[in-house]
Structure 1
C-alpha cells in the first residue's frame, strides 16, 4: 500500500508541476531518465528569459525505498558554447531511512564540443546543509555527470552517472539513496 501511495503522489506531483511550468513558461523542457534501480522525471520552464522554475521526482530502490522530490529556481544561460544554471533547490526526502526536507544550492553546467557541436558534456550538483533542514534530515546531496547528444534541435539523449545521499539524525546516519548509471531523454519546447 505504501508503494501505491508513493506512486500516486509521484504522478500527482509530476502532473501539477507540468501544469504549473507549462502555464507560465516561455520555453521549457521535460526530462526522463532510467537506471538499474531508479526512475527520474523533471519539468522546467523559463518564467522570464534567464530565470527557470522547475522540479522533479526521483524514485529509487537502490538500498531501500526512496523518493526524492525537488523544486528549484535557477538563473540559466544557454548558447552555442555552454548551457549553465545556478540557484536554489528545495529537496524533500521520503525514504525507509528517514524523512525530511531542506533548502540547498547548486546548479548544472555543460559545454558543447567545438568539433562536435551536437555533443555536450558536464554535470550537476545540489547540496542541502543541516542549517536549513526539517524533520529527520541532517543534510543531503545529489550529483551527476552526463554526456548528451542532440538528435534534433528539440531532443537530447544522454548517458550519465548519478549519486544521491542523505544523512538522517534519527540514528540511521548517512545513506546512499541512489547510485549508478542512467540513460535519458530531454525534450525542449
Structure 2
C-alpha cells in the first residue's frame, strides 16, 4: 500500500508540474481519476498550443499480479460540440511482476456527442506499442477501452467504461493481461 501511495503521489506531482508547465500556454487542461475493482488510474493533460496536447498518467492494477504502467503522450486534438478526438504518440513504461520495459506506441481516442442528449458522449481509446520500438524486457503492449461520459457541468465529466491492458515480455510466457474490467471515473477540465 505504501508503494501505491508513493506512486499516486508521484503521479500527482508530475501531473501538477505538467499543468504548471503548460498552464501559461494552455487552451485547456484536465485531471482524470478512475477506479475499478482491481485498479486505480490518474491522468493529467494540457494543451501546449491550440490542437496539441501533452499528457501523462499512471495505472496501478492488482488484476492478477502487481502491475504499474506509466505513460506520457503527445496528441493532436480536436474538440467541438459534435466530437472529441485525439491521435498521436505515447511512451508507455511497464513495471510488473512479469517483466519491465517501455516503448513508443501510437493510438488515440474518439468520442461523439449524442445529438438528442448533448451532455452524453460515447467512444473509446486505444494505444499499441510494437516490438520494434521497445526496451528492456518488453516485446509489445497495448491498452484499449470504451467509455460513456456525462457532463455534469461544463467543467466536470463523469464516466463508466471498460478497459484492458496487456503486454508481452521476453520471458516466453506470452501476452499477459495486466488489467481488465469496469471503471468509474471523473474528469475535471479547466
Query: TM-score w.r.t. structure 2 length?
Result: 0.95
- Name the SS for the 1:107 alignment partner: strand
2:96 corresponds in structure 1 to 95
2:37 corresponds in structure 1 to 36
- Name the SS for the 1:87 alignment partner: strand
Cα displacement (A) at 1:174: 1.0
Decide whether the 8 Å contact of 1:90 with 1:101 is kept in 2: yes
The 5-angstrom pairing of residues 111-150 of structure 1 reads: 111-150=112-151
1:174 corresponds in structure 2 to 175
- In angstroms, what is the RMSD of aligned CA positions? 1.1
1:23 corresponds in structure 2 to 21
Gapped regions of structure 2 (runs ≥ 5)? none
Residue-pair matches, total? 187
Decide whether the 8 Å contact of 1:21 with 1:53 is kept in 2: no
Cα displacement (A) at 1:126: 0.2
Measure, in 2, the Cα distance between the counterparts of 1:38 and 1:82.
Answer: 28
Query: TM-score w.r.t. structure 1 length?
Result: 0.96
Cα displacement (A) at 1:22: 2.7
Cα deviation 1:110-167 (Å, max 9, x = unaligned): 0000000000000000000000000110000000000000000000000000000000
